[in-house]
């Protein structure tokens, strides 16, 4: 371990490229921008070449970090553990190694018991070429995540990447202590194409982008209380959200879970009869729900805070 730490300390990182958009940034750029300058130390970096054992069987190209960047760094001087998915490599999908790196990080967080974890989601779900290993990874991650939370560790998810947060990624996000999402971030389990394929175009038209965004997008998730903070699409805004949520998260107890159950039951009572997100927003008290998708960041935050205070008691 000491040798590994030394090797990692010598690793030089890709310089931070001048994009301020979280959506446009790579996993490594997000990590660099989120943490204090030059504080990031990667575990199992690309030089370790810890790659998927499955992709070569399908004659598919590998990536040196298997699309998952894990390590630790500092925010305002305080240590945090960080995991970031690269959404452009195989849609950020979970494979065996990709998942194991996050499992290991969460188990370390559980054992340390005092350092919060940030998960930068950008994923379409499980990698189909290694589906069994990927599904097992999802289960292991969720168990490790809950163990870390029970040990008192805040686990905060940040969602705003091009692949959104789907499939098993949506389940892991739902297990987090708190979430921040941008308008571009989408959170769900089955994606638009999956729903259309299984239930028909009358159920869900995946080509109707406005429908996709108002059903799964960040604004809707914020309005129904699925996330705690609505972030602007900037690295600075996600940094502010992470800083805020790390401080905010209460310890996980049975009371927390019962409060979450009650909150979800209330959500069904309030919105169960709604056929569309527009109906949900109307039921919440929005007078012009049709205007919400076009609202600016500032205008939407003001509206969301008026319609519904962020719920911190549950999850």
Partner 1 sequence: METLNYRNKAQQRAKGTRSQAIVGVVASGNLEVLVERILPDGECEVDIRTAAEGFGDVWQAVISDFVERRSPGGLKLSINDGGARPDTVALRLAQALSAVEGDRT
Q: Return residues touching partner 1 (CB under 8 A).
A: 10-18, 26, 28, 46-47, 56, 59-64, 86, 88-89
Q: How far is the CB of 15 from partner 1 (least distance, A)?
A: 5
Q: How far is the CB of 248 from partner 1 (least distance, A)?
A: 33
Q: Which is nearer to partner 1, 67 or 226 (CB)?
A: 67
Q: How far is the CB of 14 from partner 1 (least distance, A)?
A: 5
Q: Which is nearer to partner 1, 56 or 198 (CB)?
A: 56
Q: Are 259 and 314 in contact (CB under 8 A)?
A: yes
Q: Which is nearer to partner 1, 56 or 197 (CB)?
A: 56
Q: Which is nearer to partner 1, 16 or 244 (CB)?
A: 16
Q: How far is the CB of 67 from partner 1 (least distance, A)?
A: 8
DSSP type of residue 301: H
Q: Which is nearer to partner 1, 58 or 150 (CB)?
A: 58
Interior/surface letters 53-81, b for 16+ CB within 10 angstroms, e for the rest: ebbeeeeeebbebbbbbbbbbebeeeebb
Residues 6+ apart with CB under 8 A from 308: 223, 225, 284
DSSP 124-146: -SB-GGGHHHHHHHHHHHHHHHH
Write down the residue that tokens 């188990």 correspond to. 107
H or E, element range at 241: helix 235-248
d(CA 258, CA 35): 34
Q: How far is the CB of 55 from partner 1 (least distance, A)?
A: 9
Q: How far is the CB of 82 from partner 1 (least distance, A)?
A: 17
d(CA 169, CA 159): 10
Q: Which is nearer to partner 1, 16 or 297 (CB)?
A: 16
DSSP 144-170: HHHHHHHTT--EEEEE-STT-B-THHH
What the block records as the tokens of 104 is 């290991």
């Amino acid at each position: 371990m000491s040798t590994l730490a030394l090797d990692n300390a010598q690793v030089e990182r890709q310089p931070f490229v001048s994009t301020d958009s979280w959506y446009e940034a790579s996993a490594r750029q997000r990590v660099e921008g989120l943490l204090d300058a030059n504080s990031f130390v990667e575990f199992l970096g690309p030089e370790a070449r810890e790659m998927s054992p499955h992709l070569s069987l399908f004659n598919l190209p590998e990536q040196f970090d298997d699309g998952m960047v894990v390590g630790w760094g500092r925010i305002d001087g305080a240590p945090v553990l960080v995991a970031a998915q690269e959404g452009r490599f195989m849609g950020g999908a979970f494979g065996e190694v990709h998942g194991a790196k996050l499992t290991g990080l969460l188990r370390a967080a559980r054992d340390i018991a005092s350092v919060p974890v940030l998960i930068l989601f950008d994923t379409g779900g499980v990698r189909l070429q290694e589906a069994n290993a990927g599904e097992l990874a999802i289960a292991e991650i969720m168990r490790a995540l809950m163990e870390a939370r029970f040990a008192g560790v805040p686990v905060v998810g940040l969602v705003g990447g091009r692949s959104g947060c789907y499939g098993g990624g949506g389940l892991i996000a739902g297990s987090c202590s708190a979430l921040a999402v941008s308008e571009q971030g989408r959170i769900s389990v089955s994606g638009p194409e999956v729903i259309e394929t299984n239930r028909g175009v009358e159920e869900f038209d995946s080509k109707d982008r406005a429908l996709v965004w108002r059903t799964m997008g960040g604004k809707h998730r914020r309005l129904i209380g699925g996330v705690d903070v609505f972030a602007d699409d900037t690295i600075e805004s996600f940094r502010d959200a992470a800083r805020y949520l790390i401080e905010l998260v209460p310890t996980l107890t049975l009371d927390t879970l019962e409060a979450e159950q009650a909150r979800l039951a209330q959500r069904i009572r309030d919105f169960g009869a709604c056929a569309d997100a527009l109906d949900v927003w109307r039921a919440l008290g929005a007078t012009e729900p049709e205007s919400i998708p076009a609202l600016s960041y500032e205008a939407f935050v003001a509206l969301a805070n008026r319609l519904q205070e962020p719920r911190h008691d549950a999850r």
